[in-house]
Each structure stands twice: as structure tokens, then as C-alpha cells.
Amino acid sequence: MTLRQPTVLIRRLLTRIDVDRAVLYGVLGTAQLFLTGPVTALIVAIALTAELQGYYYTFAALLALQILVELGFAQVIVQFASHEWAHLRLRADRSIEGDADAHSRLASLARMATGWYWGCSALLGIGLATAGVLFFGAEGSDDVSWTGPWIAIALLTAVDFAILPLWSLLQGANQMTAYNFARLVSGLLLIPMLWGSLLLGGELWSVALAKVVSLSWEIGVILRYRRFFASLLRKRDGPTMRWRGEILPVQWRIALSWMAGYFAFQIFTPVVFHYEGAAEAGRWGMTWGLVMAVSALATTWIYTRAPAFGSLIAERRYAELDAAFRRTAAGAVGLCILASVAGVSAIAAIQATDLDLGDRLLSPGTAACLFIAATLMQVSFAQSTYLRAHKAEPFLAISLITGAGVAGITLAAGSLWGTTGIAVGYLALTLLVVTPLSTRLFLRLRREWHAPVRARDDDVRVSTITS
């Protein structure tokens, strides 16, 4: 067997399971977080006290409050841009060519989106800084120097927020290979800086230093696409996308869904910090970070295909859409199962050896509840990505039910039974409520939305046969 033959076989296998370079870079980018996550957890445990560890992970949970400003617009941009991009293409110099009307509509979306984000970025920086000061000022310890690091991280998050619509436009233009490669390299730059800063005594400042490095790289990548953005950000003659008539009906639903998502995925650590203190919040945060790394690894598999889903829908190629969805969903869920087993096994092994790191993690049983819930959530996420690619947000009610349910369970169980109660309640809600509701909605809407086209295709086939 020649050296070339294994390479050909690997490429054929990847093609068969719907893995192109975009998916590969996306999965590698998330995989490096998954693989480096245990090392990061170890370094955090070595470099930070149990109390500082609690602040470290609670910082991350509070930063997710940007959802309340972003309002899901990034996802809306990807959805709407992908439909217009079905009639456009990128030249070798990264400028845009194609249908003039589609170009004009996409340009109007770009100006609308950047105006929103750039205006809100200052509000976000001030809001995050204020929220952190209020929360940690009331709940925190006077022995921890958190004020300077928190304000720096909040301001850097505002800068990251300002470039978010540019990334969404690239994704909507089906430049997922470039986008995922950029994020992969960004992570590879951030992690060593974070590790080095922590080990050298940077404590909570380490997060800000690492963010500076990754942001510098990302801004450099965006500048490489300056012709792409220049052709979108200048006003063009032609039809425009109407915010009130087209975008708002979708965005307000996604905005509520994303806000509910904060309560579904980020409320845990601040609540544990409040009821159990910084040390227990650190245990939850470290374990939940591993769970989210596994979830993100699988979610990337799905999200990378979202622009392609949108283009297939715009062209009414529903058979290809369904086939791509089945491959993508199966790959994501299977990947999540394998990674979850590895994660629970690793936690059990660490605690069985009586290493000090074991005291910084939740018990294997509690962790298993979280990993199983994360795997079930992949089913719902795949279904919602498929349906949202139709430029619709049908998951609003389910998102609100999930957010309210998780918030209620977290507050009630956290005050009565601590972290174990929260984990068991979260799993029960996911298994008994979220998964059945999302599956029922997915099957009904898929049948209703595609039925007219399928019926018309059947009529065409019958006419062809009879003639």
C-alpha cells in the first residue's frame, strides 16, 4: 500500500460522514478546548486558591450576560445572509460579485448589524463592569483582588462584541473554513498565554492578558477580508432588507430564546457562589466547564453546517437538506456520547487516586448527570438549527420553558440540596420536558413547511411518467 492510499481512504471516510475542511477546523478548534480543558483545570487548581477558582469560573458565567445586549442578532445575521449568499460568490481578491439585488440586500443587512453592535458595545462594557462590581461587592471577599481584572475583562469583551457581526457576515457568506480556522488559531494562541500567566502568578489578570492576544489575531484576520466588508458597508442602490418587516419577527423570538439560554446554561455558577460560597462555585465551574467543552465540541459539528442548510432551503433542495441534517445530527450526538464517557471516566479516575485536583471537581455521579443532559441537549440543538435555517424561530416557547425551568430548579435545589440536587433536576428537565417537546415540534414543522414542495414534486413526477 502506498503512502497516498491511506490519505485517500481517510478523505473518503470524512466525505462520507459529511466532514469537510470547515467542519474539520471547527471540530479541531473545539477539540483543542476539550483536550486542553483538563490541563487548564489542573493549572487553575495549582495556581489559584479554591476561593480564586470560584471567582475565575464565576467571571465566565457573568460575562455571558452579554446575551441580554446581543439579543441573538448574530444568529439572525447568519440566517439571512446565507439566503442572500445563494446568489453571490467571492472573487479571488475577496470582493463580492453576483446578483445585484442580493448584494444590495446583504449590504443593507451588514450596515444594520454593524450599527447595532458598534453602538451597543460601549453599553456592554459599562454594563458588565457595573454588574460585576455589584455582584462581587455584595457576595465576594475583601481578601481577593478582583476589581481591576474584572473591569479589564469587561472592556475587552466589549471589543470582542463589536467585531461579532463581522464574523457572522463571514459565516453567512459560507466562509466557514476561514472562520473556523481563525477561531482555531485564536484558541491556540489564547491557551498558552492563559497557562503561562497563571503559572507566573497573574491570577485573575491572566484571563485579560490571554484575551488581548486572541483578539489581536482575530482583528488581523478580519482585516484580510477588508474588501469583502468594504463592499458591504457602503450604501448601494437597490432593494434593502427591512428590519421591521423581515428581521424583527425572527429576531425578537431568538432574543427571548437566547436570554432564556442564559438561565439554561449560565445561571448555575453564580447561584452556587451565592448559596455555597466561592470554593463550591469553583468545583461546579470546573466540572461544568468540562461539560460545556464536550457540548461545544458536538455543537460545532452542527453549527458549521447552518449556512449550508440555509442555502439548500433557499434553493428548495429539501431532500439534500434532510440527508445532510441526518448525517450531521448523528455525528454530533455520537461525538458527544464518546466525549462524555471519557469525561466522567477521567473525573472518576482523578478522585480515585486521591489527587488534590479531585477536591476541585464535583463527584462522578453528579458530573454524569450533567454530561447526560448535555448529550440530550444536542438533539434539541440540531433540530433548532435545522428549523431556524428557514429564517424562523419556532423554538421560543421551548426556550422559555427551559430557561424558566432551569432557573427554578437551580434556585430551589441549590438552596435545599446543593450541587447534586441542581444536577439531578437539570437532567430530569432535559429528559422529560425539553427533548420530547423539541422532537415533537421538529417533526411537525418539518412536515408542514416542506409538504407543499414535496406535493408539487410528486405532481411533476406523475406528469412525467404519464406523458
The residue type of 207 is V
Beta strands in 50-104 (DSSP E): 88-90, 96-98
What residue segments make up the domains of the chain, in order of their start? 18-449
- Name the residue with cell 455571558: 64
CA distance 379 to 91: 37
Task: Answer for the pair 106, 88: CB distance below 8 angstroms, yes or no.
Answer: yes
Short-list 135, 160, 150, CA closest to 69: 160
For position 70, what pLDDT does the model report? Answer: 78
Q: What's the pLDDT at 434? A: 92
Q: How far is CA 280 from the centre of its chain?
A: 26
- Tell me which DSSP letter residue 389 carries: T
Cα 250 to Cα 238: distance, rounded to the nearest angstrom: 23
In whole angstroms, give the CA distance from residue 139 to residue 275: 10
431: helix, coil or strand? helix
| pLDDT at residue number 29 | 73
d(CA 234, CA 244): 21
pLDDT digits (tens, 9 = 90+) for 94-122: 889 888 898 999 999 999 889 889 888 98
Question: Is 55 exposed, middle or buried (CB count within 10 Å of its CB: 0-12, 13-18, 19+)?
Answer: buried
Q: Residue 73: what pLDDT?
A: 82
Read off the amino acid at residue 150: W
Q: Which residue has the cell 484558541?
A: 187
Identity of the amino acid at 232: L
For every residue of 292-335, DSSP letters joined together read HHHHHHHHHHHHTTHHHHHHHHHTT-HHHHHHHHHHHHHHHHHH
Closest CA to 168 of 98, 233, 104, 114: 114
Residue written as grid cell 441573538: 72
Q: In sequence order, what E strands does 336-451 have?
A: none
Q: How far apart are CA 211 and CA 108, in angstroms?
A: 31
Under DSSP, is residue 90 helix (H, G, I), strand (E, B) or coil?
A: strand
CA–CA distance, 329 with 325 (Å, rounded to integer): 6
Taking alpha carbons only, the member of 388, 82, 123 closest to residue 254 is 388
The size of the chain, in residues, is 467
Per the DSSP assignment, residues forming a β-bridge with 97 are 89
Locate 466 and state its grid cell. Answer: 404519464
Task: Give the Å distances, CA to CA, from 129 to 146, 147, 210.
Answer: 11, 9, 19
Could you read off the pLDDT tens digit of each residue along the chain, which spans 467 residues?
Answer: 454 554 544 455 445 545 567 667 776 776 777 677 778 888 988 898 888 888 888 888 888 778 777 777 887 888 888 888 888 888 888 889 888 898 999 999 999 889 889 888 988 999 899 988 888 877 656 677 888 999 999 999 999 999 999 999 998 888 888 888 888 899 889 999 999 999 999 999 999 999 999 999 999 999 999 999 988 887 777 888 887 778 877 777 777 777 777 677 778 888 888 888 888 888 888 898 889 888 887 887 787 777 778 878 888 888 888 888 888 888 889 988 998 999 899 889 888 886 667 778 899 999 999 999 999 999 998 998 898 888 777 888 888 888 889 889 988 988 888 899 999 999 999 999 999 999 999 999 998 888 765 545 544 343 443 33
Cα separations in angstroms, 426 against 14, 67, 161, 412, 430: 35, 21, 30, 12, 6
Q: How large is the greatest C-alpha to C-alpha distance in the chain, in angstroms?
A: 85
Residues linked to residue 199 through DSSP beta bridges, in sequence order: none
Task: In whole angstroms, give the CA distance from residue 392 to residue 197.
Answer: 44
* DSSP-assigned states of every residue in 200-259: TT-TTHHHHHHHHHHHHHHHHHHHHTHHHHHHHHS--SS----IIIIIHHHHHHHHHHHH
Residues contacting residue 156 through CB under 8 Å, at least 6 positions apart: 208, 211, 212, 215
**110 grid coordinates:** 451588514
The phi and psi torsions of 434 (rounded to 5 degrees) equal -65, -50
Classified as helix, coil or strand, 88 is strand
293-294-300 Cα angle (round to 5): 85
